């Protein structure tokens, strides 16, 4: 049978209240009693039941992390960095992949609410903010990461996507490219990137192509989506000299198709990706890409949500990190 606080109390010849106090370092307890209680806990190998204590209003020390897809390297790396920080702070993370399906998002959220997680970290698409608002209304801490929602008041650790798109385009422009393709998902962050991208073009007085690709079908693999988009460019009759892909997986898909067509990256077509996941260094050629500070994001978002738990924030916080261009071998002067 599981050993409870009662067993410890009996063993130490004190009341359960006293045991509770020594565990939580509350009230004033005599040195001797404290030691007796500790010895009893040791002896019985006592482990407090967090469920029971959570029932009385304390935290569950568990946080829900909602992401689109754990098998996507960007999100698994992000999840890992969040988990690391959580572990340091003695929290656990429940990870939920939504595949951008609202239905899954909703089911996960209500399941985790029932389990009384202390808060949510949201990295999913969430085009529908109702559910999020619901959480906020119920005073459940929510922090957004790697996604941004303008015009929506919420704590967030976000990336400056506009800047990312701008810098990526700038890099290509400086290399002399004028005819640049673009592949993206139809989500807010990617739309921001294209905005930056277009603004950069504008500064060079270059008209963007008419056929900028947004992927609609969110269920297919991103690599395949990259394949398809790149193929369209190759068959368009006006092959771009460079392509900006909104994440590394799309970029890789593009590279594959380009190579299959007998062309070379970067000699014939330059590619720049986004995210700088581990696979960017693995592919051939190593990918020039916009680096998201994944480690930093994980840490910041955990620290942010913890500070909310502690009630240290009544104001809304939005931490914006800037991406960095990492030059590798997939881009080249025209």
Partner DNA sequence: TTGAAAGCGATACCAG
Partner DNA sequence: CTGGTATCGCTTTCAA
Backbone angles phi, psi at 37, to 5 degrees: -65, -45
Least distance (Å) between residue 93 CB and DNA: 22
Does position 277 interact with DNA (CB under 7 A)? The reply is: no
Does position 34 interact with DNA (CB under 7 A)? The reply is: yes
Residue by residue, DSSP assigns 24-47 as: HT-S---HHHHHHHHHHHHHHT--
- Structural tokens at position 5: 């606080």
Q: Which stretch binds its own copies (CB under 8 A): 78-86, 159-167, 196-204, 235-243?
A: 78-86
Backbone angles phi, psi at 230, to 5 degrees: -65, -40
Query: Among 11, 35, 41, 52, which residue sits at the site for DNA (rule: CB under 7 A)?
Result: 52
Backbone angles phi, psi at 284, to 5 degrees: -125, 120
Provide the strand spans (E) within 83-173: 92-97, 119-122, 142-145, 155-159
- Binding mask 212-241 toward DNA (x if CB under 7 A, else -) reads ------------------------------
Residues linked to residue 332 through DSSP beta bridges, in sequence order = none
- State the virtual CA torsion across 279, 228, 189, 270 in degrees, nearest 10: 60
Tell me which residue of 197, 198, 252 sits closest to 225, measured CA to CA.
252
How far apart are alpha carbons 79 and 75 in whole angstroms? 6
C-beta neighbour count of 155 within 10 angstroms: 21
- Structural tokens at position 8: 């410890």
Among its own copies, DNA, none, what binds residue 15 when CB lies within 5 to 8 Å by partner kind? Answer: DNA
Does position 117 interact with DNA (CB under 7 A)? The reply is: no
Among DNA, its own copies, none, what binds residue 176 when CB lies within 5 to 8 Å by partner kind? Answer: none
Residues 281-320 touching its own copies, rule: CB under 8 A, are 281-284
Does position 278 interact with DNA (CB under 7 A)? The reply is: no
Among its own copies, DNA, none, what binds residue 120 when CB lies within 5 to 8 Å by partner kind? Answer: none
- Binding mask 99-118 toward its own copies (x if CB under 8 A, else -) reads -----x--xx-xxxxxxx--
Give residues in contact with DNA (CB under 7 A): 2, 4-6, 13-18, 20-21, 23-24, 26-30, 32-34, 46-49, 52-53, 55-58
Give residues in contact with its own copies (CB under 8 A): 47-52, 54-55, 60-62, 69-71, 73, 76-77, 79-80, 83-84, 87, 90, 92-97, 104, 107-108, 110-116, 221, 223, 252, 256, 259, 278-279, 281-284
């Amino acid at each position: 049978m599981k050993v409870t606080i009662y067993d410890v109390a009996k063993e130490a010849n004190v009341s359960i209240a006293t045991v509770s106090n020594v565990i939580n370092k509350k009230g004033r307890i005599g040195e001797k009693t404290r030691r007796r209680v500790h010895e009893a806990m040791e002896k019985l190998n006592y482990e407090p039941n967090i469920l029971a204590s959570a029932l009385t209003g304390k935290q569950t020390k568990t946080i829900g992390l909602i992401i689109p897809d754990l098998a996507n390297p960007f999100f698994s790396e992000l999840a890992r960095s969040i988990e690391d920080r959580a572990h340091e702070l003695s929290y656990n993370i429940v990870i939920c992949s939504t595949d951008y399906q609202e239905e899954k998002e909703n089911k996960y959220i209500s399941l985790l609410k029932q389990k009384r997680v202390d808060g949510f970290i949201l990295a999913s698409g969430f085009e529908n903010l109702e559910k999020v608002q619901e959480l906020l209304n119920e005073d459940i801490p929510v922090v957004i990461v790697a996604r941004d929602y303008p015009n929506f008041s919420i704590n967030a650790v976000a990336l400056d996507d506009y800047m990312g798109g701008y810098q990526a385009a700038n890099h290509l422009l400086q290399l002399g490219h004028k005819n640049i393709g673009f592949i993206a998902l139809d989500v807010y962050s990617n739309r921001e990137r294209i905005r930056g991208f277009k603004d950069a073009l504008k500064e060079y007085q270059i008209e963007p192509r008419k056929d900028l690709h947004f992927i609609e079908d969110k269920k297919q693999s991103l690599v395949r989506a990259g394949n398809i988009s790149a193929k369209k460019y190759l068959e368009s009759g006006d092959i771009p000299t460079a392509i900006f892909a909104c994440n590394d997986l799309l970029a890789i898909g593009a590279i594959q198709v380009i190579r299959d067509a007998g062309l070379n990256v970067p000699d014939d077509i330059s590619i720049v990706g986004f995210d700088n996941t581990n696979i960017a260094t693995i592919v051939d050629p190593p990918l020039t890409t916009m680096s998201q500070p994944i480690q930093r994001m994980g840490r910041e978002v955990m620290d942010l949500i913890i500070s909310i738990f502690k009630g240290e924030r009544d104001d809304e916080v939005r931490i914006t990190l800037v991406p960095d261009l990492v030059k590798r071998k997939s881009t080249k002067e025209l």
